[in-house]
Chain A
Amino acid sequence: MSLIAFSVNGTAREVEVDPGKRLSAVLREDLGLLGTKVGCNAGDCGACTVLVGGAVVNACLTPVAQVAGCDIKTIEGLHETRLQAAFLRFGAAQCGICTPAMLVAASALLAESPHPDPEEVRAALGGILCRCTGYAKIVKAVCRANDPLPAKAAPEAGAAIGAGVDRLDGVAKVTGEEMYGADDWPADVALVRALRSPHHRAGFSFGDIEGWRQAHPGVLTVLTAADIPGDNLFGTIPAFVDQPALADGHVRFKGEAVALIVVEPEATDAFDLRGFPVVWTPQKPILDVEAAQVPDAPQLHEDRKGNLLLAGKVRHGDVAARLAGSQFVASAKVETAYVEHAYIEPEAGLAWMDGDVLVIKACTQAPVMDQEATATILDLPIGRVRIIPSATGGGFGAKLDLSVQPLIGLAAIRTGRPCAMAFSRGESMASTTKRHPARMQARIGCDADGRITAMDFTGGFNTGAYASWGPTVANRVPVHASGPYRMQAYSSEARAIHTNGPSAGAFRGFGVPQAAIIQEILFDDLALASGIDRLEFRLGNAFRDGDKSQTGQVLEAVGIVECLEALRPRWLAAHKENAEFNTRNEKVKRGIGVASCWYGCGNTSLPNPSTIRAGITPKGKLVLHQGAMDIGQGANTVITQIFADALGVRLADISLIGPDTMLTPDGGKTSASRQTYVTGKAAELAGRALRGKILTRCNMGDGAQLSLQGGAVVAKESGHEARLDPHALSVDENGYAIAAEESYDPPTKPLDVNGQGIPYAVYGYGAQLAEVEVDMVLGKVKVRHIQAAHDVGRVINPILAEGQIEGGIAQGLGLALMEEYIPGRTENLHDYLIPTFGDMPEIKSHLIEKPDPEGPFGAKGLGEHVLIPTAPAILNAIRDATGARITQLPALPHRVLRAIREVQDV
Chain B
Amino acid sequence: MSYHRPDNLEGALDILAATGARILAGGTDIYPALNGQKLRGVVLDITAIPEISGISENGSGRRIGATTTWAEVAKADLPAGFGALQEAARVIGSRQVQNAGSVGGNLCNASPAADGVPPLLVLDADVEISAKDGVRRVALRDFITGVRQVDLQPQEIVTGLHIAKDNAAGVAAFEKFGAREYLVISISMVAVRIEMSGGLIRNAAISVGSASPVARRLERLEHAMKGREINTLESWRGDVGAELAKVLEPISDIRADADFRLQASEELVMRALSRAILVANG
Contact = CB atoms under 8 A, between A and B. Distances in A.
Interface residues of B, number: 46
B226 to A, nearest CB: 26
B97 A127 contact: yes
Given A18-B1, A61-B100, A894-B257, A46 B94 contact: yes
Interface in B87-128: 93-97, 99-100
A428 to B, nearest CB: 11
A65 B32 CA distance: 17
15 contacts: A20-B24, A20-B39, A44-B183, A46-B183, A55-B99, A58-B94, A63-B39, A65-B45, A127-B95, A779-B260, A820-B254, A836-B181, A838-B180, A892-B256, A898-B260
B183 A836 contact: yes
A778 interface: yes
A272 interface: yes
A233 interface: no
Nearest to B184: A833
Contacts of A46: 94, 96, 183
A123 B181 CA distance: 10
Interface in B157-198: 177, 179-185, 187
Nearest to A822: B254
Interface string A124-152: 10111100000000000000000000000
A127 B94 contact: yes
A170 interface: no
B260 A41 contact: no
B94 A63 contact: no
Contacts of A826: 254
Contacts of B95: 56, 105, 123-124, 126-127
B36 interface: yes
Contacts of A833: 179-180, 184
Nearest to A49: B96
Contact of A838 (B3, B93, B100, B182): B182
Contacts of A818: 179-180
B31 A60 contact: yes
A62 interface: yes
Nearest to B45: A65
Interface in B28-65: 28, 31-32, 34-40, 43, 45, 47
Contacts of B36: 41-42, 424-426
A63 B45 contact: yes
B205 interface: no
B260 A63 contact: no
Nearest to B24: A63
Contact of B180 (A56, A63, A777, A836): A836
Contacts of B31: 22, 41-43, 60-61, 63
Contacts of B182: 126-127, 836-838
Nearest to A66: B47
A403 to B, nearest CB: 16
Interface of A: 2, 18-22, 41-44, 46, 49, 52, 55-58, 60-63, 65-66, 105, 123-124, 126-129, 268-269, 271-272, 424-426, 777-780, 817-818, 820, 822, 825-826, 828, 830-831, 833, 835-839, 892-894, 897-898
A426 B35 contact: yes
Contacts of A21: 38-39
Interface string B244-266: 00000000001111011001100
B27 interface: yes
A426 B31 CA distance: 14
A268 B260 contact: no
Contacts of B259: 894
B3 A893 contact: no
A127 B96 contact: yes
Interface of B: 1, 3, 5, 24, 26-28, 31-32, 34-40, 43, 45, 47, 71, 93-97, 99-100, 177, 179-185, 187, 254-257, 259-260, 263-264, 267-268
Contacts of B256: 892-894
A271 B39 contact: no
A17 B109 CA distance: 27
Q: Chain B's interface: helix, strand, loop or mixed, by majority?
A: loop
A830 B38 contact: no
B260 A893 contact: yes
B45 A126 contact: no
A894 B257 CA distance: 7
Rank and list the top 10 A-B pairs by shortest CB-CB distance, nearest first. Answer: A127-B94, A838-B181, A894-B260, A126-B182, A42-B32, A20-B39, A19-B3, A424-B36, A836-B182, A61-B31
A332 to B, nearest CB: 23
A19 B256 CA distance: 40
A502 B264 CA distance: 33
A19 B267 contact: no
Contacts of A52: 99
A65 B5 contact: yes
A140 to B, nearest CB: 19
Contacts of A268: 38
Given A21-B38, A836-B181, A43 B5 contact: no
Contacts of A778: 177, 264, 267-268
Given A126-B181, A893-B179, A893-B264, A18 B3 contact: yes
Given A18-B3, A57-B99, A43 B45 contact: no
B50 to A, nearest CB: 14
Given A43-B93, A836-B180, A63 B1 contact: no
Given A55-B71, A63-B39, A838-B180, 20 more contacts: A19-B45, A22-B31, A41-B31, A43-B93, A56-B96, A58-B94, A61-B100, A62-B100, A63-B3, A124-B95, A127-B95, A127-B183, A128-B94, A129-B183, A426-B35, A830-B184, A833-B184, A838-B182, A893-B177, A894-B259
Contacts of B26: 61
Contacts of B180: 817-818, 833, 835-836, 838-839
A777 B31 CA distance: 37
Residue of A18, A57, A129 with most chain B CB atoms under a 10 A cut-off:
A57
A793 B267 CA distance: 49
Given A58-B96, A58-B97, A2 B254 contact: no
